[in-house]
Structure 1
Amino acid sequence: MTTPPPVPQPDVPPVPQPADPAGPPPDPRTGPAPQPDPFAVVADAVDGMREELAALGDQFRRRLLNDREARRGLDGLLTELDHARKAAEGRIVQPLLYDLVLLVDRAERQAALDDTFAGSVAAELLALLEKYGMTRIPLTGGPFNPEIQEAVGAIAAPSPEQSGEVAEVARHGYRMDERVVRPQQVRVYTDR
């Protein structure tokens, strides 16, 4: 018995036939297809990598410059913040510290009357002032210095060479960092 030929199905796509592994037959008029030069292929790949490397180098340099600019900006902001913090401390803390200086003056006057408790309180207050950056201007002899001293009196000079020199300190002076908060009040030798 004979089987009828298969009827094509309209919904089923045709099955592709495997390609000839040898490739298309050479054209008898042109001859075999030319093979690419392996050195040219490598040279093209190296040129492509050089271009890509150059682009990456440019991108790296741009980002490095951007990072430097950002760091400069951040450093500027940190400096401004530090100045603002110090200014705020000066407005808030300095008046309190100045009031403590007045209290130290009173305690030291009382300690001069042989009151040991007042002397210990004065020492503790001085330590507290130094903790917050307020330091006493050191006692120095020599010529009067108007940058850190205020003349509040005159004393006759024992010799003409001592005229204009500090004779004694009437009241201690204080500074905060390099800024004089209260000048040292002194009596100065004069030749009159």
Structure 2
Amino acid sequence: MTTPPHAPQPETPPVRQPEAPPFPQPAEPAEPPPGPAARPDPAARPDPFAVVADAVDGMRDELAALGDQFRRRLLNDREVRRSLDGLLTELDHAHQAAEGRVVQPLLYDLVLLVDRIERQAAQDDSFVGSVAAELLALLEKYGMTRIPVTRSPFDPETQEAVGALAALSPEQSGEVAEVVRHGYRMDARIVRPQQVRVYTER
């Protein structure tokens, strides 16, 4: 049995798919026109004069602050110095008061002791004389010095006249003839005047 030949089938036209819209392509940067290289904008750079002016202003502020600090420190130092001077003055006054109440009477007693020792030393006792010299050194250590013996006109500021001797000449009148008792001073103060005999006219 023979099969009949296939009858030709009608061709169906292909279905056309809708075309997708094209994606926009990024625009390429426009090339700069040929010519010299582009220079930076002068307005975008900092002004060197402005930079220097700012630095100078900062230094000026720092110097002003340092000057104020120095002046405050100087005033404080002056106040401290003034207070210290006041304390030293009070201490000196207290020292002088204590010296007048305690030290001077003790030194005066030592002076009287030296007087008695020197009278004893007049008998050629070398040991007593050395003791008197040591006492005089002790007095000088505490500021008590002996008024020097001089052949000079009588000085009522440092001397006390306790006797008179006849002058051998008019020029000798008023001069110190001899020292009866030694005098002592402490700094500028006369603790005990020097007792002397004075030449007078006949």
Say if 2:108 is the partner of 1:80: no
Say if 2:46 is the partner of 1:37: yes
Residue 118 of structure 1 is aligned with which of 121, 128, 131? Answer: 128
In structure 2, C-alpha distance between the alignment counterparts of 1:114 and 1:45, rounded to whole Å: 91
SS in 2 for 1:104: helix
Q: Could you say if the C-alpha distance between residues 77 and 36 of structure 1 is closer, same or farther in structure 2, counting changes exceeding 3 Å?
A: farther
Q: How many residues are treated as equivalent by the alignment?
A: 160
Query: Could you say which residue in structure 2 is the equivalent of 1:104?
Result: 114
Q: For each residue in 1:12-69, what CA deviation from the matched residue of structure 2 results, as whole angstroms up to 9, or x when unmatched?
A: xxxxxxxxxxxxxxxxxxxxxx847343355334323322321221221222232133
Unaligned runs of 5+ in 2: 1-42
In structure 1, C-alpha distance between the alignment counterparts of 2:164 and 2:184, rounded to whole Å: 22
Identity %: 83
- Runs ≥4 in structure 1, deviation > 4 angstroms? none
The residue identity in structure 2 corresponding to 1:121 is V
Unaligned runs of 5+ in 1: 1-33
Query: Could you say which residue in structure 2 is the equivalent of 1:22?
Result: none
Residue 137 of structure 1 is aligned with which of 134, 141, 147? Answer: 147
Query: Could you say which residue in structure 2 is the equivalent of 1:169?
Result: 179
Q: Which has the larger radius of gyration?
A: 2
Using the size of structure 2 for normalisation, the TM-score is 0.71
Say if 2:197 is the partner of 1:190: no
Say if 2:110 is the partner of 1:94: no
Say if 2:109 is the partner of 1:64: no
In structure 2, C-alpha distance between the alignment counterparts of 1:173 and 1:127, rounded to whole Å: 15
In structure 2, C-alpha distance between the alignment counterparts of 1:142 and 1:48, rounded to whole Å: 77
Q: CA RMSD in A?
A: 2.1
CA deviation after TM superposition for structure 1 residue 96, in Å: 0.7
Query: Could you say which residue in structure 2 is the equivalent of 1:7?
Result: none
The residue identity in structure 2 corresponding to 1:37 is P
CA deviation after TM superposition for structure 1 residue 95, in Å: 0.5
In structure 2, C-alpha distance between the alignment counterparts of 1:172 and 1:84, rounded to whole Å: 30
In structure 2, C-alpha distance between the alignment counterparts of 1:162 and 1:126, rounded to whole Å: 32
Q: For each residue in 1:101-143, what CA deviation from the matched residue of structure 2 results, as whole angstroms up to 9, or x when unmatched?
A: 1011111111112333322221221111111111111001110
